[in-house]
Structure 1
Amino acid sequence: MSSESFDLAEPELTAEDLLVLDDPHFEPDSVAVVTGAASGIGQATAIALAANGLTVVGADIDEEGLEKTVDLAGAVDASGDVRPVPTDLTDDGDVEAMIEAAAEAGELRYVANIAGMQHIASLPEFPTEKYDLLLDVMLRAPFLVAKFAMPHIRATDDGVGAIGNMSSVHGHYATQDKPAYITAKHGLAGLTRSIAAEGEGTLRGFSVSVGYVLTPLMVNQIEDTAAERGISEREVVEDVMLGQARTKEMMTPAEVANLFVFGFSRHGKHLNGGDLLWDGGYTTTYE
């Protein structure tokens, strides 16, 4: 497979890309929180949930990116609103205030913990402050968001809702030079199951695990991985990223967003404590 067989630019999101489902709770009085909503998977998920009629509180530290998300939701004629709430996920007060803002916007029922970051380095060379930051954003923040959101979901008339956590194939196995990311994603499995254990069946917890997705985070990661391993960027894509997969193309942010839509919907009512593993064969095949 040549590197010319796919485009490494993030694809433009259109209305036709989005899964829209009939669900009694997919309406403007129901609120969904999406972290990392200023770009990539978080942005696509915020737009997809708005396209399903929900009021979406988009949380991110990137205020300009949040405004772009609002504009993109309008461009696809989403029937629900995206309300930007600038949030530093490493600040406990910010996280709590963001959840309170979501609760004031309607009945808070859904949370998509998607915000993420990456740093490429071997374990002995990994900066401790980077490790702490990645774990704060990708494991501690989802815990805090769930902690503050669960009482509001329980307080709805029927207690129906769900918290979806963005995991990864790296929540199932480990590769080189990503120790903090891998630790965070493995930890999310425990948080997801804890939410399910305490949710009494109506408040569900689930995770979504995918391989490589065409996002700004992924595009930046190619250069870092090439430098760390001393190989070309083309080799990173073909051998490191897609080498183990059986489906030889990267997912789009909209395809991942649709998994959250399904997981939150009535069609996902038996998805509780489990993981939507949409990985093109990364973790289930070997050669």
Structure 2
Amino acid sequence: MTDDDFELSAPELSRDDLLVLDDPRFTRDTVAIVTGAASGIGRATAVALAANGLTVVGADIDDDGLAETERLAAAVDAEGKIDCVQTDLTDEDDVDAMVAAASDDGQLRYVANIAGMQHIDPISEFPMNKYDLLQDVMVRAPFVLSKCAMPHIKAADDGVGAIANMSSVHGHYATRDKAAYITAKHAITGLTRAIAAEGDGTLRGFSVSVGYVLTPLMLDQIADTAESRGISEQAVVEDVMLGQARTKTMMTPAEVANLFVFGFSQHANHLNGSDLCWDGGYTTTYE
């Protein structure tokens, strides 16, 4: 394949892509909050949980994207439903109001902190406003949402639930030019473990780490990395992103969403304070 032939696009989501499990708590009376629900992994996770029969509150600042997520849930004949709430995750009052609205929909048991962003620059040139924004969205917002949601989850009839945080292979190791993102993902490991420590065994905390996923955010990152390194987008994918992996394909958003479905289910009762690392060999192998 030549550079001229190289083209990537985010995949379409279908019902067949989704993991659907039998679980006594996967009903419309159970509420799950998903942040970043307007696109990518957040959208796929919201749809996957709705397909498992849950009531999902999708939170994002992008109202048009949230409407598309609701449309997609209907297109896959989800047994549950998605109620989207436009939310500025950097605004504590907004987050608190969103959680209150979610608790009115049923028993709030699950939270998926997925919203994320990226900026690529070396540390010496990294704009601090971008650094601060990344930390606000990917560290402070999950903390605030967990703080607001934990009392509701513990108040469920049996106190069973889970808070899941989107981590990354960059929560396990570092590469160049992504210092703010790497810092945030390492921090999320600490939050995950703190949730588990305070969850009394019934409210679990876990994280999900994956390599590169075909999302709109990733497509932008490919272009940015190509520009910053002076190489082609094909070289970014084949040499930079997949060069170290043993599985030579990118994950799809649905494959990541299925990890959240499993992690929330009764089949993952011992997943607590730990990380589901689906990385294709990034963090465990090298040449």
| TM-score between both structures, scaled by the size of structure 1 | 0.98
> Where do residues 194-213 of structure 1 align in structure 2 (5 Å cutoff)?
194-213=194-213
Question: Which deviates more, 105-114 or 6-15?
Answer: 6-15
1:6–1:226: structure 2 CA closer, same or farther, 3 Å change rule? closer
Q: What do residues 131-172 of structure 1 show as CA deviations (whole Å, max 9, x unaligned)?
A: 000000000000000000000000011000000000000000
Q: Once the 2 structures are TM-superposed, how far is the Cα of residue 2 of structure 1 from its aligned partner?
A: 7.0
1:14–1:7: structure 2 CA closer, same or farther, 3 Å change rule? farther
1:109–1:230: structure 2 CA closer, same or farther, 3 Å change rule? same
8 Å CA contact retained: 1:6, 1:249? no
Q: What do residues 223-248 of structure 1 show as CA deviations (whole Å, max 9, x unaligned)?
A: 11111111111111111100000000
8 Å CA contact retained: 1:59, 1:84? yes
1:50 and 1:156 map into 2 onto residues whose CA distance is: 19
1:28–1:6: structure 2 CA closer, same or farther, 3 Å change rule? farther
8 Å CA contact retained: 2:6, 2:234? no
- What residue identity is the alignment partner of 1:172? H
8 Å CA contact retained: 1:163, 1:205? yes
Secondary structure of the residue aligned to 1:43 is helix
Q: Does residue 246 of the first structure (1) align with residue 212 of the second (2)?
A: no
Counterpart in the other structure of 1:187: 187
Q: What do residues 189-210 of structure 1 show as CA deviations (whole Å, max 9, x unaligned)?
A: 0000000000010000000000
Counterpart in the other structure of 1:70: 70
8 Å CA contact retained: 1:242, 1:249? yes
2:182 and 2:5 map into 1 onto residues whose CA distance is: 29
Q: What do residues 45-82 of structure 1 show as CA deviations (whole Å, max 9, x unaligned)?
A: 00000000000000000000000000000000000000
- What residue identity is the alignment partner of 1:250? M
2:3 and 2:203 map into 1 onto residues whose CA distance is: 44
1:28–1:247: structure 2 CA closer, same or farther, 3 Å change rule? same
Query: Percent same amino acid at aligned positions?
Result: 74
2:71 and 2:171 map into 1 onto residues whose CA distance is: 33
Counterpart in the other structure of 1:214: 214
Q: Where in structure 2 are there 5+ consecutive unaligned residues?
A: none
2:152 and 2:228 map into 1 onto residues whose CA distance is: 44
Secondary structure of the residue aligned to 1:156 is coil
2:4 and 2:213 map into 1 onto residues whose CA distance is: 17
2:171 and 2:220 map into 1 onto residues whose CA distance is: 20
2:7 and 2:82 map into 1 onto residues whose CA distance is: 29
Counterpart in the other structure of 2:259: 259
Q: Does residue 15 of the first structure (1) align with residue 15 of the second (2)?
A: yes
Counterpart in the other structure of 2:168: 168
Secondary structure of the residue aligned to 1:82 is strand
Secondary structure of the residue aligned to 1:11 is coil
> Where do residues 98-109 of structure 1 align in structure 2 (5 Å cutoff)?
98-109=98-109
Counterpart in the other structure of 1:131: 131
> Where do residues 106-121 of structure 1 align in structure 2 (5 Å cutoff)?
106-121=106-121
1:255–1:2: structure 2 CA closer, same or farther, 3 Å change rule? farther
- What residue identity is the alignment partner of 1:54? L
1:278 and 1:2 map into 2 onto residues whose CA distance is: 30
Q: Where in structure 1 are there 5+ consecutive unaligned residues?
A: none
8 Å CA contact retained: 2:3, 2:232? no
1:245–1:105: structure 2 CA closer, same or farther, 3 Å change rule? same
- Show structure 1 runs of 4+ deviating over 3 A: 1-7
1:260–1:7: structure 2 CA closer, same or farther, 3 Å change rule? farther
2:165 and 2:177 map into 1 onto residues whose CA distance is: 23
Counterpart in the other structure of 1:56: 56
Counterpart in the other structure of 2:155: 155
1:5 and 1:276 map into 2 onto residues whose CA distance is: 35
Q: Once the 2 structures are TM-superposed, how far is the Cα of residue 8 of structure 1 from its aligned partner?
A: 1.6
Output the aligned Cα RMSD.
1.3
Q: How many correspondences in the alignment?
A: 287
1:152–1:6: structure 2 CA closer, same or farther, 3 Å change rule? farther
Question: Which deviates more, 222-231 or 204-213?
Answer: 222-231
Secondary structure of the residue aligned to 1:20 is coil
